[in-house]
Structure 1
Amino acid sequence: MTLKNYLLSSIAILVCAVGSSFISAGSNQDESEFTKPTIDIGCVVSDIDASVKFYTEAIGFEQTSEFKVGAEYANKVGLTDNKPLDVKVLTLGTGAGATQLKLMQVDGESAKAAHDHIHTTLGYSYLTIYVKSTEAAMKRLKDAGVETVAESPLPIEGAEQITLTLIRDPDGNIIELISPSPEK
């Protein structure tokens, strides 16, 4: 997939996301079969402390809680093969619509997914985080010692009022930051 196709795909996803948020804003949540209008994301990391630091300092998540899952229970429900989990819960935003990222480190070696590009591994390939200011996001990233991927941030082709910035977390997972383009 070329960068142009990737950016066009991102634009399509963004348009769908914005459109669906307007549609869902007018719908009655009580009619949904879901108890929460957002999804939580679980991510196994190689260094829990480095990952918590990255997501809180570089991105702006807040650690809101943590919990443990015992080895026997984790095995019974299919989460692990008899390994306990220590989970750190990070939250982005407030209220019922806040995103929760559950970071966990499991003892032993875990295979690292190849995230050279979004097409190199099947499955979830990246997180999209919407920020209000490209400048503020870039300052926060710089202060945390995080470098951007390739030539980003760049305006999205065909939607120059929106900027795409790609970064990687400590395990190499891709994160895209979408924001209004800086004023010129």
Structure 2
Amino acid sequence: MSDPSAHHVGITVADLDRAVDFYTETFGFDIVAEFAVGGDAFAEAVAVDDASAAFAHLDAGDIVLELVAYDPAAPGEAPELNHRGATHLGLSVDDVAAFHADLDDDVETLSPPRTTESGTTILFVRDPEGNLIEVLDA
């Protein structure tokens, strides 16, 4: 067996174009690939009847951020951090306060930047789909 290594972090979204715009504009990520996948093998692999999906891969530094919009789409709710199975994307920046100050007014934050007991300054924001992103000091 080969040693596993990280390939990407995936986030399912309803509106791929809106999500791509958010991550490229807010975080400056570059698009590295856009493609679609469908067919029986894909539907069976993801266990969604008749599924197909559009994908965008973004260069997020040490990882690839994979945004995926499924057809058919299923409804969902914005995740809460304290719920079992909750996930979030963690991104580091040089200065959380400066990043916060430069955010567009329509970007939802859970609170202003806060320095925790560990000494790390954190800020949680939501993407347009409600997915959580933790921004922390590099």
Q: TM-score, with normalisation over the residues of structure 1? A: 0.65
Residue in 2 that maps onto 1:83: 51
CA contact (8 A) 2:108 2:127 kept: no
Q: Distance in 1 between matches of 2:47 and 2:67?
A: 14
SS in 2 for 1:171: coil
Q: Distance in 2 between matches of 1:171 and 1:51?
A: 7
1:156 to 102, 116, 127: 116
- Rate the CA distance shift 1:113–1:123 in 2: closer, same or farther, 3 A: farther
1:76 shift after superposition = 3.1
CA contact (8 A) 1:75 1:82 kept: yes
Q: Count residues with an aligned counterpart.
A: 137
- Rate the CA distance shift 1:75–1:108 in 2: closer, same or farther, 3 A: closer
Give the % identical residues.
30
1:57 shift after superposition = 0.9
Please state if 1:167 is matched with 2:125: yes
CA contact (8 A) 2:52 2:72 kept: no
Residue in 1 that maps onto 2:94: 132
Q: TM-score, with normalisation over the residues of structure 2? A: 0.84
SS in 2 for 1:106: strand
SS in 1 for 2:109: coil
Which has the higher Rg, Structure 1 or Structure 2?
1
Letter in 1 for 2:64: Q
Q: Distance in 2 between matches of 1:109 and 1:92?
A: 25
Q: Distance in 1 between matches of 2:131 and 2:92?
A: 17
CA contact (8 A) 1:59 1:137 kept: no
SS in 2 for 1:110: coil
Please state if 1:42 is matched with 2:42: no
Residue in 2 that maps onto 1:178: 136
- Rate the CA distance shift 1:124–1:62 in 2: closer, same or farther, 3 A: farther
Which is richer in helix? Answer: 1
More contact order relative to length (CA 8 Å, sep ≥ 6): 2
CA contact (8 A) 2:78 2:129 kept: no
Unaligned runs of 5+ in 2: none
Q: Distance in 2 between matches of 1:125 and 1:87?
A: 19
Which is richer in strand? Answer: 2
Unaligned runs of 5+ in 1: 1-31
1:131 shift after superposition = 1.0
